[in-house]
Amino acid sequence: MTKVIFIWLMLTGQVKYQQNGGDGRKQYALFFEDGTVVDYAYKAEILEYIETGTFEYDDTLDDNVTDANKGK
């Protein structure tokens, strides 16, 4: 269900792709209703935010990036 919510946030513009990080993982901007923006967040960080309701940068979370899906 968390991934479905992530897709919904992408479709509604609350999450927008920014760039690929140096490690090949996609980075996103996360827009909150109060106007706050979190930049350069990894998908795993946003998924954790969806699950917990609290955003925290943590580049050790795994996005399951493989050579086959880097940069897609």
**pTM for this model (two decimals):** 0.84
Kindly list the domain boundaries of the chain, sorted by start residue: 2-52
pLDDT higher than 90, residue 67: no
For 32-65, give one letter per residue: b (16+ CB within 10 A) or e: eeeeeebeebbbbbbbbbbeeeebeeeeeeebeb
DSSP 61: S
Mean pLDDT, to the nearest integer, of 39-67? 89
pLDDT at 72: 46
With cut-offs at 50, 70 and 90, classify the pLDDT of residue 15.
Answer: very high
Question: Please, what is the average pLDDT of the chain?
Answer: 90
Among candidates 2, 7, 15, which has minimal Cα distance to 53? 2
Mean pLDDT, to the nearest integer, of 31-57? 96
